[in-house]
Amino acid sequence: MAGLATAFSVVSEPVTSRVAAIAAPYLSIVGLTKRFGSAVVVSDVNLDVPRGELLCILGPSGCGKTTLLRLIAGFEAADSGSIRQAGSEISALPPEARDFGIVFQSYALFPNRSAARNIGFGLETLPLSRTERAARIRELLALVGLEGHADKYPSQLSGGQQQRVALARALALSPGLLLLDEPLSALDANVRASLRDELRQVQRRIGITSIMVTHDQQEALSIADRVVVMNAGRIEQIGTPAELYQCPANLFVARFLGEVNALPVTSISGNIVQAGGHVFRLGGSQAPCGSAGYLCFRPSAVRIGMEAAGGAVGTRGRVSSVAFLGDRLRLEIQPEIQNGGPLVAEIPFPRFGNPPGLGDHVTVSVEPDQLFLLDDHG
Amino acid sequence: MAEISAVSGTAARQVRPDPTGQIVPPVLLVVLATATLLPIGALLVRAFLGKDGAFVGLDNFLRYGAEPGLVIAAWNSLSLSMIATVIAMALAFPFAYALVRTAMPGRGIFRLIALLPLLAPSLLPAFGLVYLFGNQGWLKGWLLGESLYGPVGIILASVFYAFPHAVLILSAGLSAGDQRHYEAARALRAGPWRRFVTVTLPSCRYAAISAASIAFILVFTDFGIPSVVGGSTNVLATDIYKLVIGRFDFEMGAVVGVLLLLPAIVAYAIDWLARKSQRAMITGKSVPIRAERLPLRDLVLFLFATLVAIAILGIIGMAIFGSLVKFWPYNLSLGLQNYERLFSDADEFRALGNSLILAFGTALAGTGLVALSGWLIARKLGNGMIRNGLQGVAMMPVAVPGLVLGLGYVFFFNNPANPLHALQGSLALIILCTVAHFYTVPHLMVVNELLRLDREIDLAAQALRIGPAGTARRIHGSVLLPTLIDVAGYFFVNAMTTVSALIFLFTAQTRPASIAVINLVEGSRIGQASAFAVVIMVLSMVAACIQLTLRHLVIRAQGWRRQTP
């Protein structure tokens, strides 16, 4: 009984442990490893999540991000490593003994229950009166903005509405941790963006520690407090969205967060770098490290003009493809040097004059402080 | 908002563990193994033992080979089954094609008529044939001097018996195509005939293999038809009965059992492979087939379907007519005397009661067991090895002829050393055997229905601290209810009409109606036997009607199944 009652009340802990809980991360993962047969799906993952944070786990499909989430939930058993939640070790507990709510990509709503009865599902085993339960369900429906849809069945709700019901259902037992497994991937682009913001608002309002798995870097960058980039079962980098975008740890992270021109470095002397047949001058901040294999820059860092711009060393090229992106143009430029690979540039659509067209000869330059040197892997 | 923002203090909560996944699968595995695996094992072992129970190697098989009459029976079984299969397929394919791929009128009615024989014992068409083509039949001349009793009768009745099964499988296969293939063929300027040959035929070849395998097995292992119209033509199915019941030669019976089992297993293996390939051809994104309107083709197929329907109705109608006639063929005035005798004779009346108990018991026990085993497998509960064992045991009966299963039951439960020996001769054992005999199809119905439910639904429930049993009660049960009604109907109708497995198990007290029909035939009382078969068919029809009505009402009451927003 005592265990069930915790759903609605703040359990008073000894003062010392509460202080410790504030100092220590809410969720702490150490050396977590999971194998399926001979394949290592999650490999020696270490991760701390402070209370109240929204953490996104980002990676391509098959990188182990969903398995990591399922390990935290207890749907899979880890081969080694520990998971501590609110100070206690949970890695040996079955899912029903852990303290989390979960939202799936497929919504996984109970098809034979109305929105209200889906949300109330977990409350049924609690010692609540009918009115208490109904009040709690109303509150949750209001939280996700579905007041008028209490009696509709999942088949009568839109995808976005279904996912809101799933979110309310996951929050019904006031869990300490919210797990979101690609919650927006099944939705249309428009609904996805608005539900993404709503999700973030709800998460902020109730201050629940949350871990969201996604393969969509825009989604991760736009709502996460911090992002974990995973690849082949390993964590490549952890950081705030801005850190990841501006200072990717390696080429994989750089490429996964957005398109990047990566030119193999052939020589470095001082702040002059030869890469991919071009010559670049670095700004002050990029300390070239000896093993740096690639000189990288985002397409948006590229300037197109008739003359080489200021600090950067320019190179001439011919426009080999043009794509119209609304307010911007995406150009592929074939340099006029031997062995030079094509460069990608994204430039604002010019307000005056003609935009560069197919076959035009242009000069390409990059601001020195937009260049960075990266290794193939971190 | 205060409650929502409440932070729980501890990550671990006390929960009552749900032991369903640990306890139920092993118990169910033991029950199902006892009902299927162990009796069949007992039969296989017996084939290699002598009368004294000592191991004799292949002696029994050699003894079998030395009896020319028995070897001929094996040949008869094989050749007649193949001929009947070919004819049944030749009729069923155009019929099924007409049902699902044409705009021919009356498709619903034709479908109902084609499936009608499923509700009757396999003997009923045999009676119809006897009245039409028997020694005193109306259309005897049509056989050009051939006697019905023998190969002709066996083939005719077997075609009739296998036809609805073949139509079911073929029409499912034919309706599972992809409309876009036809649109692509049209865009490439393929005419109707070319579209049929290059798109339709390849897309249903696996269904055709599957249908042929099933038809072959049904005919090869059927006991009812050769016992009525077989005459002096021996087949394996009647031999096994004569050897066991007539000569008490259990070892030789076991040998014939093995001979019945092997081709059945081969045919089911072919069927299994065919179904696997058929499934692989259909993706979730297929666009459903729209029937095309081709007036000439539709007219030809309509005439064909009409002929087939007349034959089916004619044969069933003849059986009904014969059962109502006072004294065939001398006094054709109609009366209910054959039926009256069924209700006045204590033995026959008890047989009817036994059949109803058997059918209800099988429907109840079978539906319960199938719901459990299908649920455990579809929702992946408990230990994987035990689950694989369960699936294996559940899939086995479909490849085991009823006669083989029944004889296995005799060997297994008649053994005084068996603690379940007390069940011998009881109606409970007959129910168990019938449940086991028809287990596979309903088991798969449950598995397939539950597999359509997202696996993550169970995980969501688990995260909300509701275990498998709670989720089954709150979610799975409601989703599965219409399927369980179909399952109960399937068990009921099959228990009413089955003969083969029970022929070795009944006693004077537990004899069911379908066996009573055979006994009446053996006593040359065809009129009464037909009447009894008709009563069985009518009861099956009533059960089928109740099943459909119940299913309709349940689906209508489950508002969540409606898609309208």
pLDDT per residue as tens digits for the range A10-63: 333 344 444 444 568 999 999 999 999 999 999 999 999 999 999 999 999 999
Average pLDDT along chain A: 86
Q: What is the pLDDT of residues A57-114, one digit of tens each?
A: 999 999 999 999 999 999 999 999 999 999 999 999 999 899 999 999 999 999 999 9
Q: Which residue of A has its CA nearest to B477?
A: A112
Distance from CA of B16 to the nearest CA of A (A): 9
Beta strands in chain A (DSSP E): 27-36, 39-49, 54-58, 80-85, 88-89, 100-103, 177-181, 209-214, 226-231, 234-239, 261-269, 272-275, 278-281, 294-297, 302-305, 315-324, 328-335, 343-348, 361-366, 372-374
When pLDDT is averaged across residues B505-509 and rounded to a whole number, the result is 92
Radius of gyration of chain B (CA): 26
* Facing A96 at nearest CB: one of B5, B462, B562: B462
- Is A122 close to B564, i.e. CB distance below 8 A? no
Predicted local distance difference test score (pLDDT) of residue A198: 94
Distance from CA of B482 to the nearest CA of A (A): 13
List beta partners, residue B544: none
In the predicted structure, residue A176 carries a pLDDT above the cut 60 = yes
When pLDDT is averaged across residues A194-211 and rounded to a whole number, the result is 95
For chain B, list residues whose CB is within 8 angstroms of any CB belonging to chain A.
1, 3-15, 17-18, 453-454, 456-457, 459-467, 470, 474-475, 478-479, 558-565
Q: Which residue of B has its CA nearest to A18?
A: B9
Predicted local distance difference test score (pLDDT) of residue A377: 61
171-200 in chain A: CB under 8 A from chain B: 171-177
Average pLDDT along chain B: 89
Tokens of A343: 């460069």
When pLDDT is averaged across residues B173-185 and rounded to a whole number, the result is 83
Distance from CA of B456 to the nearest CA of A (A): 6
In the predicted structure, residue A4 carries a pLDDT above the cut 90 = no
- Is A156 close to B565, i.e. CB distance below 8 A? yes
In the predicted structure, residue A8 carries a pLDDT above the cut 50 = no
Q: What is the pLDDT of residues B45-75, one digit of tens each?
A: 999 998 888 888 888 899 888 888 888 999 9
- Is A121 close to B8, i.e. CB distance below 8 A? no
Give CA A155 to chain center in angstroms.
30
Distance from CA of B4 to the nearest CA of A (A): 6
Q: Lowest mean pLDDT: which of A35-39, B183-187, B361-365?
A: B183-187
Contacts of A157 in chain B (CB under 8 A): 565
When pLDDT is averaged across residues B388-412 and rounded to a whole number, the result is 92
Predicted local distance difference test score (pLDDT) of residue A295: 87
In the predicted structure, residue A351 carries a pLDDT above the cut 80 = no
A97: nearest Cα among A3, A34, A195, A228: A3
Distance, CA of B169 to CA of B211 (rounded, Å): 6
Tokens of A46: 């270490």
Return the axis-axis angle of helices B68-101 and B250-281, rounded to nearest 10°.
20
When pLDDT is averaged across residues A270-285 and rounded to a whole number, the result is 77
Contacts of A17 in chain B (CB under 8 A): none
Q: Coil, strand or helix: which one is A359? A: coil
- Is B565 close to A122, i.e. CB distance below 8 A? no
Question: At which residue do the structure tokens 């359990």 appear?
Answer: A11
- Is A113 close to B560, i.e. CB distance below 8 A? yes
When pLDDT is averaged across residues A174-188 and rounded to a whole number, the result is 94
- Is A99 close to B8, i.e. CB distance below 8 A? yes
Predicted local distance difference test score (pLDDT) of residue B491: 96
Predicted local distance difference test score (pLDDT) of residue B6: 41
Beta strands in A64-176 (DSSP E): 80-85, 88-89, 100-103
Distance from CA of B18 to the nearest CA of A (A): 10
A169 contacts chain B (CB < 8 A): yes
Q: What is the pLDDT of residues B119-142, one digit of tens each?
A: 888 888 889 998 988 888 888 888
What topology is assigned to B27-281+288-562 in CATH? MetI-like fold (1.10.3720)
Predicted local distance difference test score (pLDDT) of residue A5: 36
Predicted local distance difference test score (pLDDT) of residue A82: 96
Task: At A215, give phi and psi (nearest 5°).
Answer: -110, 0
Which of B456, B558, B562 best tests the A interface by mutation, with the highest count of A CBs <10 A?
A: B456
Predicted local distance difference test score (pLDDT) of residue B70: 84
Q: What is the pLDDT of residues B235-286, one digit of tens each?
A: 999 889 889 888 888 999 999 999 989 988 888 888 888 878 776 665 556 6
Residues found in chain B: 565
User: Would you tell me how many other CB atoms lie within 10 Å of the CB of residue B531?
Assistant: 27
Q: Which residue of A has its CA nearest to B472?
A: A110
Distance, CA of A245 to CA of B184 (rounded, Å): 47
Predicted local distance difference test score (pLDDT) of residue B11: 43
Contacts of B554 in chain A (CB under 8 A): none
State how beta strands A328-335 and A315-324 pair: antiparallel
The span from the first CA to the last CA of chain B, in angstroms, equals 30
Q: What is the pLDDT of residues A328-346, one digit of tens each?
A: 899 999 888 766 778 899 9
Distance, CA of A227 to CA of A351 (rounded, Å): 36
When pLDDT is averaged across residues A298-318 and rounded to a whole number, the result is 71
Whether a cis peptide bond, with omega within 30° of 0, leads into B329 is yes
Contacts of B465 in chain A (CB under 8 A): 96, 122, 125, 173
B462: nearest Cα among A267, A100, A166, A22: A100
In the predicted structure, residue B1 carries a pLDDT above the cut 70 = no
In the predicted structure, residue B202 carries a pLDDT above the cut 90 = no
User: Do B101 and B291 touch, CB atoms closer than 8 A?
Assistant: yes
Predicted local distance difference test score (pLDDT) of residue B294: 86
Distance, CA of A40 to CA of A231 (rounded, Å): 12
Predicted local distance difference test score (pLDDT) of residue B364: 98
B520: nearest Cα among B322, B335, B356: B322
Which amino acid is residue A216, in one-letter code? D
When pLDDT is averaged across residues B167-174 and rounded to a whole number, the result is 89
- Is A73 close to B463, i.e. CB distance below 8 A? yes
- Is A97 close to B479, i.e. CB distance below 8 A? no
Q: Which residue of B has its CA nearest to A27?
A: B11
Predicted local distance difference test score (pLDDT) of residue A2: 37
A233: nearest Cα among A63, A44, A79, A82: A63
Distance from CA of A122 to the nearest CA of B (A): 5
- Residue B210 pLDDT level (bands cut at 50, 70, 90): confident
- Residue B15 pLDDT level (bands cut at 50, 70, 90): low
Which amino acid is residue A174, in one-letter code? S
In the predicted structure, residue A3 carries a pLDDT above the cut 70 = no
Q: What is the pLDDT of residues B140-162, one digit of tens each?
A: 888 877 888 899 999 999 999 99
A7 contacts chain B (CB < 8 A): yes
In the predicted structure, residue B233 carries a pLDDT above the cut 80 = yes
Q: What is the pLDDT of residues A227-250, one digit of tens each?
A: 999 999 999 999 999 989 888 888
When pLDDT is averaged across residues B201-227 and rounded to a whole number, the result is 89
